[in-house]
Chain A
Amino acid sequence: GESVGLHLPTLSVQEGDNSIINCAYSNSASDYFIWYKQESGKGPQFIIDIRSNMDKRQGQRVTVLLNKTVKHLSLQIAATQPGDSAVYFCAENIPRHKLIFGSGTRLLVRP
């Protein structure tokens, strides 16, 4: 299938460890943020989101942290599994409906 993530930064983690993926966003007016997971040959899939009036949001095995002061977003994955191997993108909602994606990080999980 289509190869995603050839030139993207790569994070390699041991199965069972925690993963932290970082993202810098561009627009201080952005009011909503989303993390997506993309597997090879597929479209992006929603993982978790956070609004700009929050600092942290937790889901099942995933946590998103938002630091508006430095325009930084992170995705933490607990107990990383082989099925978590994929490319991860953050996206920011710029007011007036634009949804802009960051450059992405490839996560490799070592057995």
Chain B
Amino acid sequence: KAGVTQTPRYLIKTRGQQVTLSCSPISGHRSVSWYQQTPGQGLQFLFEYFSETQRNKGNFPGRFSGRQFSNSRSEMNVSTLELGDSALYLCASSPRQDNTEAFFGQGTRLTVV
């Protein structure tokens, strides 16, 4: 069974640009959640999608958005990039909304210069 796949693995963008990250969940998993990990703040919850609907959202500005498709694949978008957006962005999938069985991908390392 394939794990959670995130693409791309590494990305370098300049301030002001926008970026789209992709996450393919484990087959059969309908819940996808996104997280930001930085050395200063640790892991922080961005948002969670279940059956194409955003169910929960963390405390991040509106520049961070996401969506989920009918095949459960998810994308997150960050607009008007800032230097502080440099981080490891992790995606996790779960068969249920309660996330008790969340499986993480390898993450996308975003560097904003």
> Do A and B come from the same complex?
no
